[in-house]
């Protein structure tokens, strides 16, 4: 039989002079001092062991070290604690690493073990320090590109260059190796736009051959269609920088706890939106259109949403990037019943070939995904991605990117393997026998290895600096070390506005701090998990409040376990899984404690009286055998009740509430559940569409379920419920629960009911943004000001009362002395006495008093007794205005009610003009910024009387003009649109006087003729317009319209748009047209 270790990699070369040998390969009872070891090496492979004799290579003696592995080694590799230490002459290590390596163990009875060698440790020891500062990928110097690929174990590297399409033979350029393991080529400016690959000649243990691995650049920033080749581009080239992106500053989010985050998938956003031109649906460019989706985003932003989190947008391996190559289901999906099996079968048949995937399949970390681009070729996808970022910024929304550094889509010699083809055996995390770990789902990346960690840091910095994104969410962040995240944080902190155009210290980081897999419990390093990031300002998703609100957990076999937001104890669904009435009460009271703790930031040291009558800190409250509270500060927690994973909130409530629950009551429970995140002291996180009752037809894992189960209808006409039974692969076991629900027509909301839910959700955002009391920002302030009256053994089931007292400690809100929030999840009105607040002048918040929900207006407050009464299934926000020494009472700074977008509905569903995207071959001209003459000084205008003036009455396509306006709400974001077919040009914030002063670039593709420039305040809904004539870019009579010659200033008519006065007070419904 083969010797132990054969066909595996059990030995670990950890430093240039140290190998670690597993004790379980020692013969039973053997003393290591009585054994010998040899390291065999073969430059091109072919080592063989026959009858205890090695052939095909040379041996190098290893020496047993009775002192064991040095502490520095076991600190870095804790899994190797207890291994036998073997010393090796490391002078030849660099050479040996380029070929096959195996270790033979022998004793008096001959050979006793034979195994391969894992080499990441010694590679880092030899190269990491020198390569740490290397600029990998392409860098530019004086217009010439330098290519750099880190491949320390390669025997040779050539750059393959295609300057005229990729069908012919490439130019082959020899790369030169440096001592840091980097292979470099210096090119010239004629290579710009060329396609390239590397030919890496490297020994591959899996094939036992020296392979010529022809691969794309792991640091690619642009790619050909379907990512077959890397593309030479300069991200600083103006042709890749659309004016909307270059000229629009990101909106300000002052503190991390101010964040209200909306998790959105690029394709879901617009793939079914008929108000977007057909060729732009499902793409980056859809975000720059005046569409049902962008109107909804504007409405959310006006109410207080400030961040959009995009599911993976880096280059992924699983979607064909040519639309024509994307398969579609071969059946009439809408023709089947609401609980039929046919839809999921049709979707599943093409699921791996269609245009949809969540995107957690990394291919290239530094290039935008091509399937989301109208033109995926080369620099076009870069420009289109930047257009999206600019459009979101112009809408008042910061942008967070979802990063997946914990795994790749493939490894080894697979077609979509890159890293493992460049440095075999280095980038992926190997188990004890040399197999790649897959606990994440796929091929785990070992970011604890120095250059894998560098790739993570370099990629994040590139997206921040070159795309102006504002935050990063890390998938399965617990599979990274805490040090990885600290390295990312430190690198971002070095970015400055003056040097890099970005204030890196303002960039927020958060992720999934789950603790599982081979890294669990700090087995390999100190993980970036819940409770281990105290003081870093890095957030983790909290499953504590999530599960307490929804009920049960995401992996329950029976999905009918109820929670605080789904009727636990107060509205039992009758399923035996919930236990006896006494058990239901116990669970409901504990769930309410978890909600209280979550509202207070899920802090480990925050204390209150819990349902067992004890005063406990967060870390003393139980969550499935773990401390519930784990955060030092509130910005270390993301509070959420649904995300792309697992069922949507609406679907979860559908399965848990009694089936007979009325639609109006279901909507109220949806609102109440969202309120637990919106009114928490942490960053608040909503899954896109949660405010609109989004359903995925009960699908618990829609990562590959196609557009049919995932697309969002922003009009509210179809919330996604009743699209058939969800795909069998992840849902079939729950079909018996799901079928009767999907068949019940009363459980599918109408567009009007979706609008009701949306309006209630908007009021939650307004309430959150109306006062700093909901975002105190520190554990000290929360512990001082936030209490939960009525908690303890006698707490009313399904009720949480939260008091935020601004009369103690530093004044957080100069307009208020306090806020009192009551969450009543029960089926009846509830009266709660708060004796400590007797005599206080609380009243329903103006946001709710003037808001969309008539029911909440029945809330009453009796100051004499300190008693508050709140209707059933309602969250009520009461505030006490601060008495300003006898002067007029200040009012809460509620965000003004948004109004209908003033841009008219396009008369044609497929407008010709594109957003400010320009293809690399036809860059938008960047005119010399000779200052345009300023318009004649304008008279003072009253607030609410918007006005607009332009520096030019006519302008060449591709030219710029100066735009001034006023009459807007101070500080609100004001968008500048070019009509008649709406194109978003730029946005800026009105100053303290409500004035706008900005330059706008007219897209080079704009048709010649009469147009209008329209400026719109996002919060106020106020708008003004002025006529503008666009001339041909090469018009010889257009000198005065370029900014380079004499200019006649034109002051526009300063009238409100027709109907604008009515729009100021009107409420918008989803999908409404201004």
Do 39 and 97 fall into the same domain? yes
- By C-alpha distance, which of 1073, 1072, 1068 is closest to 302? 1068
Span 185-194, pLDDT tens digits: 999 999 999 9
Q: Which residues contact 501 (CB under 8 A, 6 or more apart)?
A: 465, 468
| Backbone angles phi and psi of 483, in degrees to 5 | -65, -35
Q: Which residues contact 714 (CB under 8 A, 6 or more apart)?
A: 273, 291, 292, 293, 295, 296, 692, 1070, 1071
How far apart are the C-alpha atoms of 496 and 499, rounded to whole Å? 5
- By C-alpha distance, which of 763, 968, 850 is closest to 304? 763
**Three-state secondary structure readout of 707-766:** HHHHCCCCCCCCCCCCCCCCCHHHHHHHHHHHHHHHCCHHHCCCHHHHHHHHHHHHHHHH
Note whether residue 625 is domain-resident.
no
What was the pLDDT predicted at 805? Answer: 98
How far apart are the C-alpha atoms of 3 and 111, rounded to whole Å? 8
Do 208 and 339 fall into the same domain? no
- Of 512, 713, 880, 881, the catalytic one is 512
Strand partners, 603: 631
Residue 1063 tokens read as 């729009």
Q: Helix-strand-coil percent breakdown of the chain, rounded to 5? A: 30, 25, 50
Contact predicate 10/25, CB 8 Å: yes
Note whether residue 525 is domain-resident.
yes
Note whether residue 20 is domain-resident.
yes
DSSP state at residue 905:
P
Does residue 901 surpass a pLDDT of 90? no
What is the rounded average pLDDT for all residues in the chain?
91
Q: Does the active-site annotation cover 512?
A: yes
Note whether residue 511 is domain-resident.
yes
Contact predicate 563/653, CB 8 Å: no
Domain at 189, CATH number: 2.60.40.10
| Other C-beta atoms lying within 10 Å of the C-beta of residue 450 | 18
Span 193-249, pLDDT tens digits: 999 999 999 999 999 999 999 999 999 999 999 999 999 999 999 999 999 999 999
Do 230 and 368 fall into the same domain? no
Contact predicate 159/196, CB 8 Å: yes
How far apart are the C-alpha atoms of 591 and 656, rounded to whole Å? 15
Per-residue DSSP letters for 972-999? -EEEEEEETTTEEEEEEE--TTS-EEEE
Span 759-780, pLDDT tens digits: 999 999 999 999 999 999 999 9
What was the pLDDT predicted at 885? Answer: 54
Do 202 and 93 fall into the same domain? no
Q: Which residues contact 127 (CB under 8 A, 6 or more apart)?
A: 150, 152, 180, 181, 451
- By C-alpha distance, which of 134, 149, 288, 206 is closest to 918? 288
Residue 29 tokens read as 């009872």
Do 398 and 523 fall into the same domain? yes
Strand partners, 261: 307, 685
DSSP state at residue 347:
H
Per-residue DSSP letters for 447-458? TTSHHHHHHHHH
Do 42 and 150 fall into the same domain? no
Span 1001-1039, pLDDT tens digits: 999 989 999 999 999 999 999 999 999 999 998 877 655
Span 403-459, pLDDT tens digits: 999 999 999 999 999 999 999 999 999 999 999 999 999 999 999 999 999 999 999
What was the pLDDT predicted at 923? Answer: 37
Span 930-985, pLDDT tens digits: 333 333 344 444 556 888 999 889 999 999 999 999 999 999 999 999 997 899 99
How far apart are the C-alpha atoms of 381 and 359, rounded to whole Å? 16
Domain at 102, CATH number: 2.60.40.1130
Q: Does the active-site annotation cover 880?
A: no
Confidence of residue 900 (pLDDT cuts 50, 70, 90): very low
Do 517 and 450 fall into the same domain? yes
- By C-alpha distance, which of 611, 625, 637 is closest to 553? 625
Structural domain span for residue 316: 250-255+311-355+363-537
Strands 622-623 and 626-627: antiparallel
- Of 290, 475, 632, 981, the catalytic one is 475
Contact predicate 517/440, CB 8 Å: yes
How far apart are the C-alpha atoms of 105 and 289, rounded to whole Å? 68
Please report which helix (H) or strand (E) contains residue 16, including its range.
none
How far apart are the C-alpha atoms of 872 and 375, rounded to whole Å? 52
Beta strands in 386-527 (DSSP E): 398-403, 407-408, 443-444, 471-474, 508-511
**Stretch 311-329: mean pLDDT, rounded?**
97
Among 239, 274, 300, where does a domain finish?
Answer: 239
- By C-alpha distance, which of 311, 303, 312 is closest to 260? 303
Confidence of residue 884 (pLDDT cuts 50, 70, 90): low
Contact predicate 853/760, CB 8 Å: yes
Does residue 924 surpass a pLDDT of 80? no
> Percentage of the chain with pLDDT > 90?
89
Note whether residue 982 is domain-resident.
no
Do 325 and 471 fall into the same domain? yes
**Stretch 823-846: mean pLDDT, rounded?**
98
Do 226 and 373 fall into the same domain? no
Strands 786-787 and 799-805: antiparallel
- By C-alpha distance, which of 944, 967, 946 is closest to 1065? 944
Q: Alpha carbon 860 to chain centroid distance?
A: 40
Do 317 and 184 fall into the same domain? no
Confidence of residue 563 (pLDDT cuts 50, 70, 90): very high
Span 260-288, pLDDT tens digits: 999 999 999 999 999 999 999 999 999 99
Among 537, 552, 573, where does a domain finish?
Answer: 537
Please report which helix (H) or strand (E) contains residue 614, including its range.
none
Helices (H), 518-575: 543-550
Contact predicate 769/257, CB 8 Å: no
What was the pLDDT predicted at 1035? Answer: 79
Note whether residue 669 is domain-resident.
no
Note whether residue 986 is domain-resident.
no
Span 596-638, pLDDT tens digits: 999 999 999 999 999 999 999 999 999 999 999 999 999 999 9
Contact predicate 359/214, CB 8 Å: no
**Stretch 134-157: mean pLDDT, rounded?**
97
Do 133 and 94 fall into the same domain? no
Does residue 1067 surpass a pLDDT of 70? no
Among 93, 118, 143, where does a domain finish?
Answer: 118
Do 341 and 230 fall into the same domain? no
Span 494-549, pLDDT tens digits: 999 999 999 999 999 999 999 999 999 999 999 999 999 999 999 999 999 999 99
Contact predicate 821/878, CB 8 Å: yes
- Count the domains in the chain: 3
How far apart are the C-alpha atoms of 250 and 1067, rounded to whole Å? 27
Contact predicate 212/200, CB 8 Å: yes
Q: End-to-end CA distance of the chain, in Å?
A: 79
Domain at 494, CATH number: 3.20.20.80
What was the pLDDT predicted at 910? Answer: 34
Residue 980 tokens read as 């008649």
CA distances from 565 to 71, 179, 296, 794, 977 (A): 51, 60, 25, 20, 42
Please report which helix (H) or strand (E) contains residue 350, including its range.
helix 342-350
| Other C-beta atoms lying within 10 Å of the C-beta of residue 624 | 9
How far apart are the C-alpha atoms of 894 and 915, rounded to whole Å? 33
Span 159-172, pLDDT tens digits: 999 999 999 999 99
- By C-alpha distance, which of 938, 942, 993 is closest to 962? 938
Sign (positive or negative) of CA dihedral 530, 535, 539, 544: positive
Note whether residue 813 is domain-resident.
no
């Amino acid at each position: 039989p083969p010797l132990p270790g054969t066909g595996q990699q059990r030995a670990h070369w950890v430093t240039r002079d140290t190998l670690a040998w597993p004790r379980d390969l020692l013969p039973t009872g053997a003393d290591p001092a009585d054994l010998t070891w040899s390291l065999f090496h073969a430059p091109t492979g072919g080592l063989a062991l026959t009858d205890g004799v090695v052939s095909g290579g040379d041996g190098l003696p290893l020496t047993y070290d009775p002192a064991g592995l040095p502490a520095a080694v076991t600190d870095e590799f804790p899994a190797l604690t207890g291994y036998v230490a073997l010393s090796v002459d490391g002078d030849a290590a660099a050479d040996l690493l380029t070929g096959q390596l195996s270790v033979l163990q022998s004793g008096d009875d001959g050979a006793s073990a034979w195994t391969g060698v894992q080499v990441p440790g010694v590679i880092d020891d030899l190269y990491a320090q020198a390569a740490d500062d290397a600029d990998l990928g392409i860098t530019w110097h004086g217009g010439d590109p330098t290519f750099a690929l880190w491949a320390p174990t390669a025997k040779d590297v050539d750059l393959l260059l295609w300057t005229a399409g990729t069908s012919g033979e490439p130019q082959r350029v020899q790369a030169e190796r440096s001592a840091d393991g980097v292979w470099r080529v210096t090119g010239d400016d004629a290579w710009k736009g060329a396609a390239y690959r590397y030919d890496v000649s490297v020994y591959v243990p899996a094939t036992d051959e020296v392979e010529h691995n022809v691969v794309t650049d792991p640091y690619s920033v642009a790619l050909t269609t379907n990512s077959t080749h890397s593309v030479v581009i300069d991200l600083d080239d103006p042709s890749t920088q659309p004016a909307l992106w270059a000229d629009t500053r990101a909106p300000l989010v002052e503190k991390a706890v101010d964040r209200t985050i909306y998790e959105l998938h690029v394709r879901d956003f617009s793939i079914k939106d008929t108000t977007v031109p057909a060729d732009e649906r499902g793409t980056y460019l859809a975000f720059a259109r005046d569409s049902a989706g962008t109107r909804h985003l504007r409405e959310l932003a006006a109410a207080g949403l400030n961040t959009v989190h995009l599911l993976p947008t880096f280059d992924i391996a699983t979607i064909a990037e040519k639309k024509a190559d994307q398969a579609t289901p071969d059946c009439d999906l809408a023709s089947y019943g609401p609980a039929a099996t046919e839809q999921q079968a049709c979707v599943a048949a093409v699921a791996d070939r269609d245009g949809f995937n969540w995107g957690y399949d990394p291919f290239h970390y530094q290039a935008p995904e091509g399937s989301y681009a109208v033109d995926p070729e080369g620099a076009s996808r870069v420009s289109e991605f930047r257009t999206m970022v600019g459009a979101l910024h112009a809408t008042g929304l910061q942008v967070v990117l979802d990063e997946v550094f914990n795994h790749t889509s493939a490894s080894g010699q697979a077609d979509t393997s890159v890293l493992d083809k460049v440095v075999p055996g280095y980038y992926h995390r190997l188990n004890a026998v040399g197999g790649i770990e897959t606990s994440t789902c796929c091929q785990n990346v070992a970011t604890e290895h120095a250059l894998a960690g560098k790739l993570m840091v370099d990629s994040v910095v590139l997206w921040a600096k070159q795309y102006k994104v504002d935050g990063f969410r890390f998938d399965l962040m617990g599979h990274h070390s805490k040090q990885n995240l600290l390295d990312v944080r430190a690198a971002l902190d070095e970015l400055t506005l003056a040097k890099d155009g970005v204030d890196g210290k303002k960039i927020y980081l958060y992720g999934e701090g789950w603790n599982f897999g081979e890294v669990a419990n700090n087995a390999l390093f100190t993980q970036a998990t819940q409770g281990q990031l105290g003081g870093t300002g890095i957030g983790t998703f909290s499953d504590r409040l999530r599960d307490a609100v929804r009920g049960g957990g995401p992996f329950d076999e029976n999905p009918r376990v109820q929670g605080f937001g789904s009727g636990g104890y107060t509205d039992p669904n009758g399923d035996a899984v919930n236990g006896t009435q006494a058990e239901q009460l116990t669970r409901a009271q504990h769930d309410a404690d978890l909600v209280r703790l979550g509202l207070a930031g899920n802090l480990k040291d925050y204390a209150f009286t819990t349902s067992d009558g004890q005063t406990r800190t967060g870390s003393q409250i139980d969550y499935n055998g773990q401390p519930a509270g784990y955060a030092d500060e509130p910005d270390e927690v993301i509070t959420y009740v649904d995300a792309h994973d697992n069922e949507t909130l609406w679907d979860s409530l559908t399965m848990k509430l009694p089936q007979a629950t009325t639609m109006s009551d279901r909507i109220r429970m949806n609102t109440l559940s969202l309120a637990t995140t919106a009114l928490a002291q942490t960053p608040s996180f909503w899954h896109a569409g949660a405010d609109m009752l989004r359903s995925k037809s009960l699908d618990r894992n829609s990562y590959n379920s196609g557009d049919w189960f995932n697309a969002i209808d922003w009009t509210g006409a179809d919330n996604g419920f009743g699209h058939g039974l969800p795909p069998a692969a992840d849902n079939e076991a729950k079909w018996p629960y799901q079928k009767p629900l999907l068949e019940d027509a009363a459980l599918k909301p109408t567009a009007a009911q979706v609008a009701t839910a949306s309006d209630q959700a908007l009021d939650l955002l307004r309430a959150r943004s109306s006062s700093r009391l909901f975002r105190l920002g520190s554990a000290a302030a929360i512990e001082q000001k936030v209490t939960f009256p009525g908690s303890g053994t006698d707490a009313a089931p399904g009720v949480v009362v939260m008091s935020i007292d601004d009369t103690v400690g530093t004044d957080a809100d100069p307009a208020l002395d306090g806020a009192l929030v009551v969450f009543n999840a029960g089926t009846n009105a509830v009266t709660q006495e708060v004796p400590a607040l007797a005599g206080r002048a609380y009243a329903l918040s103006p946001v709710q008093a003037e808001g969309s929900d008539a029911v909440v207006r029945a809330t009453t407050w009796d100051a004499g007794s300190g008693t508050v009464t709140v209707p059933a299934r309602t969250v009520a926000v009461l505030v006490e205005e601060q008495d300003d020494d006898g002067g007029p009472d200040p009012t809460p700074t509620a965000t003004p009610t948004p109004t209908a977008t003033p841009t008219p509905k396009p008369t044609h569903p497929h407008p010709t003009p594109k957003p400010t995207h320009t293809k690399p071959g036809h860059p938008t001209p960047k005119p010399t910024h000779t200052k345009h003459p300023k318009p004649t000084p304008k008279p003072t205008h009253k607030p609410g009387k918007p006005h607009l003036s332009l520096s030019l009455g006519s302008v060449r396509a591709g030219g710029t003009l100066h735009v001034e306006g006023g009459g807007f709400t101070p500080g609100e974001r004001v968008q500048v649109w070019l009509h008649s077919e709406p194109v978003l040009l730029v946005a800026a914030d009105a100053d303290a006087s409500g004035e706008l002063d900005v330059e706008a670039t007219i897209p080079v593709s704009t048709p010649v003729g009469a147009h209008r420039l329209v400026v719109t305040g996002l919060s106020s809904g106020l708008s003004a317009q002025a006529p503008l004539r666009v001339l041909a870019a090469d018009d010889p009579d257009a000198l005065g319209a370029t900014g380079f010659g004499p200019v006649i200033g034109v002051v526009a008519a300063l009238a409100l748009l027709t109907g604008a006065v009515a729009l100021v007070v009107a409420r918008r419904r989803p999908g409404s047209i201004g």
